[in-house]
């Protein structure tokens, strides 16, 4: 089992009671940044926090900086690639390694609770259940359009958890549609979204190109291709606009970035669309832009990027779907458009230019509302309360329960 040693957060056992936090990746996108706030809340509550991730990455340094221990441990992640033969073989092999190493980690640490930061790594839910350790699962996923069978398959591991946290009412509704009983153990806690240290005021007037910023994965689900089509439509209308794409593809989706670059070349938008790659901090890019675009074409359980846009003091244009509607609700400078409709996005961007004075006058009020709604301090306290209550409600573990890490007859 890989260990990251040296410096703050090295893997050395603390005399305090431990919480094991399981996470499927080591990057710094939406759920990764929310994890950092969850970990900070647990640390502030007095827990010794050990975070397990499958590989090294920029998230690890941030976790250690905040005072968490970090350990590398394989865990299979449920993705669509599992449906392909090669993907299934890889998934099965990772499951076997994860069973052995994860079981050893639980026996060694004997945590008071396991906090699983996504439903896509169900192995940790099962391992904790087998070890009779209480489990809290933080759900960041939600696809209302998925088939009833898919919803049930994805949500079934949550039936083993003592407590579930959903990042939106939309996510809760998806869980309820799969298993109504899940609603009784689920609490909605809106994501913590820290704002910039120093907010740069928006431009007094749009002089020249409208600067549009997209932040997130370069993924078909995120509608990046639709955003490029919208910029092309503005070009045809004679409305000059520039699109900055901040983010990278998930491994295995390199083909999508090639398609995006091909589209940019075909539309002759090389001077209008910039691929800036993944950036650990987004605030300078948001400040350099005029408007934030969130053009998702599939369900979003929430919309951290939309909230970041509001916190940066910029108007937001987002798809009118699922959790994005919830994330933008109540903000006067947030506009929603038809998902997948480049013309609708172009209309909204053009209207932003035409009514810039009206929007800019309302930005400060929206910033204050977002700061209150997504306060990291309030979020951290709530997460800590829920984990503490779950750990306290479970009987103390015995050596017998931890050691075998096998199903006993009554668990069948």
Residue 68 phi/psi, 5° resolution? -85, 150
CA distance 193 to 379: 9
pLDDT at 7: 39
**pLDDT single digits (tens) 184-219:** 999 999 999 999 989 999 999 999 999 999 999 999
The CATH architecture one would assign to domain 18-192+376-411 is 3-Layer(aba) Sandwich (3.40)
pLDDT at 80: 55
Three-state SS string across 238-303, please? CCCEEEEEECCCCCCCHHHHHHHHHHHHHCCCCCCEEEEECCCCCHHHHHHCCEEEECCCCCCCCC
pLDDT at 132: 93
Strand partners, 203: none
pLDDT at 85: 58
Provide the CA 203 distance to its chain's centre, in angstroms. 30
Q: Which residues of the chain have pLDDT under 50?
A: 1-11, 13, 83, 397-412
**pLDDT single digits (tens) 291-308:** 999 999 988 888 899 999
pLDDT at 91: 58
pLDDT at 153: 87
pLDDT at 372: 94
Structure tokens, 25: 């990746």
CA distance 336 to 354: 17
Q: Are 211 and 276 in contact (CB under 8 A)?
A: no
210-215: strand order across its sheet: 273-277, 241-246, 210-215, 291-294, 316-319, 334-337
DSSP assigned state of 212:
E
pLDDT at 407: 34
Structure tokens, 136: 């809290």
Identical fold for domains 18-192+376-411 and 210-373, yes or no, is: yes
* Cα-Cα-Cα-Cα dihedral sign, residues 393, 395, 401, 407: negative
The correct answer on CATH 3.40.50.2000 for the domain covering 210-373 is yes
CA distance 336 to 292: 12
Domain positions in the chain = 18-192+376-411, 210-373
pLDDT at 87: 54
């Amino acid at each position: 089992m890989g260990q990251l040693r040296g410096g703050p957060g090295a893997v050395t056992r603390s005399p305090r009671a431990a919480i094991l936090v399981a996470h499927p990746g080591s990057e710094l996108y939406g759920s990764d940044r929310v994890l950092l706030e969850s970990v900070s809340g647990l640390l502030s509550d007095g827990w010794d926090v050990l975070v397990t991730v499958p590989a090294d990455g920029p998230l690890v340094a941030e976790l250690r900086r905040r005072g968490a221990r970090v350990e590398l441990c394989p865990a299979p992640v449920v993705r669509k690639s599992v449906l392909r033969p090669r993907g299934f073989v890889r998934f099965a092999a990772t499951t076997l390694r994860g069973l052995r190493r994860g079981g050893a980690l639980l026996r060694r640490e004997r945590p008071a609770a396991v906090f699983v930061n996504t439903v896509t790594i169900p192995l940790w839910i099962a391992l904790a259940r087998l070890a009779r350790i209480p489990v809290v699962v933080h759900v960041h996923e939600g696809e209302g359009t998925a088939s009833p069978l898919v919803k049930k398959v994805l949500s079934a591991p949550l039936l083993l958890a003592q407590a579930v946290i959903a990042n939106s009412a939309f996510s809760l509704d998806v869980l309820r549609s799969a298993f109504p009983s899940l609603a009784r153990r689920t609490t909605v806690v809106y994501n913590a979204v820290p704002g910039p240290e120093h907010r740069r005021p928006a431009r007094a007037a749009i002089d020249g190109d409208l600067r549009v910023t997209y932040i997130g994965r370069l993924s078909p689900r995120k509608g990046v291709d639709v955003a490029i089509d919208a910029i092309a439509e503005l070009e045809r209308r004679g409305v000059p606009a520039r699109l900055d794409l901040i983010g990278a593809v998930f491994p295995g989706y390199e083909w999508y970035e090639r398609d995006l670059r091909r589209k940019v070349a075909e539309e002759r938008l090389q001077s209008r669309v910039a691929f800036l790659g993944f950036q650990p901090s987004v605030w300078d890019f948001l400040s350099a832009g005029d408007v934030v675009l969130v053009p998702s074409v599939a369900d979003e359980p929430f919309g951290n990027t939309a909230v970041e846009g509001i916190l940066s003091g910029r108007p937001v244009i987002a798809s009118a779907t699922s959790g994005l509607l919830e994330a933008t609700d109540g903000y006067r400078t947030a506009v929603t458009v038809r998902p997948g409709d480049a013309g609708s996005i172009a209309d909204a961007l053009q209207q932003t230019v035409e009514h810039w004075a009206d929007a800019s006058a309302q930005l400060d009020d929206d910033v204050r509302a977002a700061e209150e709604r997504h306060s990291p301090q309030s979020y951290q306290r709530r997460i800590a309360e829920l984990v503490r209550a779950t750990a306290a409600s479970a009987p103390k573990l015995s050596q017998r329960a931890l050691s075998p890490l096998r199903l006993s007859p009554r668990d069948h």
